[in-house]
Structure 1
Amino acid sequence: MLMDMLDLFSADILNSILDTSKVESGKMQLEEAEFSMADVLQESVDMAYVTGVRRGVEVVWDPCDFSVLRCATVLGDSKRLKQILDNLLGNALKFTDEGHVVLRSWATRPIIGSNVRAPSRFVHPRHGGGSFLGCLFRARKGPGDQDHVQNDPNLVEFYFEVVDTGIGIPQEKRMSVFENYVQVNNGQGGTGLGLGIVQSFVRLMGGEISIKDKEPGERGTCFAFNVLLKISEVQQPQDIEEGPSVPLDTLNRSIYIASAFQEASNFKGVHCVLYVHGYETRRILKTWMESIEVKVWLVPQAEFIGSTLEKVQSNSTATATAECGSADRCFSSKEMVNLLRNNSSPRRAILGGIPSGILVVIDVSGGETEEICQEMAKLARIKHQAPCKVVLLEDIKTPSNDLRRLKDMGCDLVLRKPVHGSRQFTLLMTLRDLQVLDAQAQSSHVGPEIAGNRQQQDLPDVVVPCVEDTAASTEASCLAQEQQKPGDDKPLAGMRILLAEDNLVLQSIQRKIMNQLGAFVTVAQNGAMAVNLLREALEQANASEEDIVSLPYHVIFMDCQMPGMDGYEATKLIREEEQRYGIHTPIIALTAHDMEEDLQKAIDAGMDLHLAKPISRKKIVDAVRSVCKCEN
């Protein structure tokens, strides 16, 4: 085993020497392939985290403004980029005995020579308002090169900082650390090759690397660098700041994660009880949750988890008691309808501070199993009062027996630290689950005239100005009432439905209604995915030995307003594709408005029927029967 490790170490040194030689001779060629930047960062930090656990050092990725997570895929050399990150993180850990090592990241459009400023942490201390990137490039590139980079619509710029609380690097030695074979501290092992190669790779990617000054009195070092990479062909330039407008046709997890983070999320009314070890991890999670309107309650010690939960409940109940008396007198059913129209939660509007959901995050990586078990036993009392999810955080040191015991006590989800990237996405989805559960529960509070009777003649007046969140709330209320009907049959049994809907909350609710009706539902996040799913299904059906190509889907429900390729454009492409096979799939348009112009646009695009959101069980059944009858 030791000889194998020595062989690997020797091979790494040899590869480093060869890489350096290639760079110096101009023979180093970067690969160009599509990859997810978020996946690369997560993999590097996950590897460094293992070393950090052994050394007692916290290692975490800080996504800062989440622009990297909103950037789905780029083109470049992911292998070389990972070498840069692994080297910097490894060096930071080597010289850090306590505290933390943090990787920070941002993505933006190139800003060389422009008035747009880089993230504040990248402002060079000696240049005031100038961007960090501009300062780096001034030493290396001429004005023509700067203009080329700034005006290239196919480039995205990534900024990184690797920050540690180690011994630091003296000012007089900062320039020499990027020379090959130079050691800052002779007491530390290593070949001295790494940072020279890191600088070479960074420059090959159009960037530069430097050491930033930390705040007076702060320990450690901050390496900062940037790279320029090409945007994936199907991703638009504005995707970097705003999230992908057209996710890739390839259905993969990185695209789904990017689209989830780029959606405007508002979880006002959701509370999070947060017990997490590690200052940086706790800070990152708290900052992120507060940015999406989650009320965060920090728990200092494990034995206070239960009392913090009781505090959440008591504060909310006090608010509710103070307001509930007047609410009964002041709100008529008509005013309730107005609450729905204005995207307000009736239950929360009336009952004030009652949480719409509670997320409990408990870090079990520090032991304390007995204390945490005692606190988890208290959760049973609050689970019936509000939607509640319990998430456990574990790491490589967590005993499996302890974890199994904690799972059996009512845990909903277990995530392995460090919590970033795909795991942070899982937390986001858990928050959305709470939102859906709350919306389903609201029908028991707003009264049957609002939640149940979707056949009233005046209801379309209510939903005409409906926005997505209101639609989600209203549809969920309807779903909750319909679930209470034990004698319901399954009028859509055996039917295959393609649902194109970009809003994840609406997507979840609509799919659940259709499943209850007996249908098999396939979900597309946007118009492009819907077209691709149908195309692939038709090609597969055509490859069979059947003489006639059958419809892959009996019905398509198409949201008309989706980012990138909307439902109208998707329908036109689907109709073109179907002409090759001589088939016609019924397409039902879904819009937030019931206006004449929407109906005309749907007809012009080739849609068969138009529905205004929210779509209830009855609306779905009637619409499907109508279009399928026409087909027959």
Structure 2
Amino acid sequence: MKSIKSLIHRYIFSNELSLDARILNMVCAFGLAAAVAATAARIIEKAPPIAMLAMAAMFVFIIGLLIVSNRFKLYKIGIWISLISLGDVLFPVIYFTNGGINSGMAAYFVLSMVIIFLLSRGKSCVVILIPHIIIILACYFIGYRYPDLIRPVSTFQLYVDTIQSLLVTGFFIGFVIKFQSRIYNDEKQKVEITGRELARQDQLLHVINEAATLLLASDANTFKAALDTSMEMMARCVDVDRIHVWRNQIEGEQMSYSIVYGWAASPELKQEKMSFLYNQSFPDWAAKLFAGQCIGGPLTSLSKTEQERLGPYGVRSILVVPLFLQHSFWGFVSFDDCRNDRDFPEAEVGILRSGGMLIANAILRFEMTENLIQAREEALSSTKAKGDFLANMSHEMRTPMNAIIGMTNIAKSSADPEKKDYCLSKIEDASNHLLGVINDVLDMSKIEANKFELSFTEFNFEKILQRVVNVNNFRVDEKEQNFTVKLDKNIPRTLIGDDQRLAQVITNLLSNAIKFTPQHGSIQLSTFFEKEENGVCTIRIEVRDSGIGISEEQQRKLFTSFEQADSNTSRRFGGTGLGLAISKRIVEMMDGHIWIVSELDKGSTFAFTIQAKRGSEKNGLLRPGINWKNVRLLAVDDDSDIRSYFLDVAQQLGLRCDTAAGGIEALAMVEQKGSYDIYFVDWKMPGMDGVEFSRRVKERSSGTSGVSQPESVVIMISAAEWSTVMDEARRAGVDKFLSKPLFPSAIADCINECLGAENVLAENQQPGQIDRFEGSHLLLAEDIDINREIVLALLEPTAIVIDTAENGREAVERFSQNPDKYDMIFMDIQMPEMDGYEATRRIRALDNKRAKEIPIIAMTANVFREDIERCLEAGMNGHVGKPLAMDEVLTKLRTYLR
């Protein structure tokens, strides 16, 4: 019974079939029912076998018609076949074989007419109906005129046939009425549903239009409120609890999606800052959405993976609509129903797709507007900053220039040698300051042009710190600041990196700390070894001061080009405002980062990290040739930290060391333990100072105290300049001076030198000691008189012979005339008639062995990386930048003349 109901619903009442198909199937079904009734009647009548065969043929015909018409969708052909068979074939056959007019043919006549009107319409109805009526009339006429042609049947058969025909006709007409009522109600319901859907679609379209108006009318201040209102209107209209806009992103080689904006009916449903990978959360979504397919329906209709992912977020039904902007898959918008299991109508999906595109475009428009506003503000800020920078730079350049010009005039008009020396000293200071300003501008220009590069070499980390400290010590001494250095002993002695740029960063931070820390303030330079991975060390360097401090607002601008913490900072303290921006770039190129911790009036801590490879292990700090186990040291200082530092350094060096807190205690230790080989003595100590203690030790060593002792070495340590204590210390017998803050290598160098170990390396050479190059001949190509004069004057103490040429052509001629005369050539780049590049190429092209070998060094103000590379490409061996650094010039001479 269930199967019959299922078939009736599928082939007669299903809305998926056309009306013609449903009517044809209904007629055929009743045809089968009529055939069943007729067969039953024939059995009751005990009809002959021929009649039973006719019933069987009818069964086969009707079933075959049902199968063919439904299988191949040939409903129109099936209707024509059934009508012709029923009206023009079946009716005459039944009429003449089943009793004629006395049988139930009247009822069949009515049934056939009803079927024709059901199955046909328009002209086809007329075409079928007229022949059928004619055939019926003809059958009745023939039966009336020729009754013998009608097969006689018994009265019982007539009664049975009449009852059967009336029942079949009545049931059929009743079912047709029921069927039409069902169709009418279904269609009426469809119309009502369609009406409601159209009304809802119209309302949704109205909401979308209203949202578009809101979003287009919004500005940067009202956009988020307008977007929130628009999404809420859409959500209320389609009865969902949550809307999220998701944007695609590429993470490495994988695509992810994250929320850019969302709305929820209640706070507990809201989700923010969520991001997922497609291949981890919904592996099939990317392909479907990229193809433009929507994903949705009740959660129970989705895959198990989707149910597991969406269930925890309270989703009962979902609609996911892909968004395409500028012909690319931008992301998608999701509509979540957390209360009902339902499908989203196709018509609504199309409108919601438009709504999602509207929201996505609005978000992009807002972001573009925000970016434009931000870019405009940054441009205005940058323009103002550069304007302030130019004004400040003018001050920074004019101030030392004023000093240079003023001191030059004073020196020219003065006959006092001491006054002239004083003026020259001030000119040197002002010139170095001006060169620092110019270097900052050049570095910043290289950064802006993306031409800033690092030059890696192996360097001694401690020597870098020592060099930086020595450069800044005099300024610390001027302000009488307390300056300490803490060196982490775990940091490798040698590292591979750009030592010059590292020193530049530390110098910048240290000079800022000195500048912004008041008189008698404290400054600490600390280094830390953080970690080492695969031979790459992470080093942290901190500069802490007790200066004026920096507010949070000012901190945000510190590392920006052309910015200073405050607009009046340059007026109060000077500076270009470029140092920290340059330092930040250098640190980032060293795979580190830089930051600040500061409060107003509570000092500042600038810190940065760098990554550098561990250098090759070298020999210890102490030179070979001495039994260092027998060497005894005594450190005398009232500062307990300094005493602990000496003990730590001595332990590292493998030396025996005692300490004393003052001169009196130290003398008592000498009396008790005997003389020491080396004394490290602080200058200023309470009670007996370092000078008096040194005098007592020297008297004891020389025997003037009545006791003759082996000669000891006294090294005075102090944060003050050596010139301050030199005369008094020399008279007391002090052998050497060591400046604070102390470094292990500096202590080791003093010990090596004092105890007769092999000479300290050239990098520790005493100031004022100049190399000599007797017998060497140099050719200098320089077009500017004053520059030639400077080089000749600087190199005069080296005893090197120098010939000059005023341009590249003259340099080529001089070398061509006597190539074996010259040992080296210094070549300017920008010269009249022939520049340095062409002159070098001409010399290298000469058919002479010496032309191929002679060292040619560029001596030029063109100092960018590309300038140096161009010099090397032209055939030069090296590069020296102007203004000339004597140490760099001497290094080149040592390299190529020895």
Bin for the TM-score computed over the shorter chain? 0.3 to 0.5
Calculate the TM-score normalised by the size of structure 1.
0.43
Larger Rg: 2
More helix by share: 2
- Greater length-normalized contact order (CA 8 Å, ≥ 6 residues apart): 1
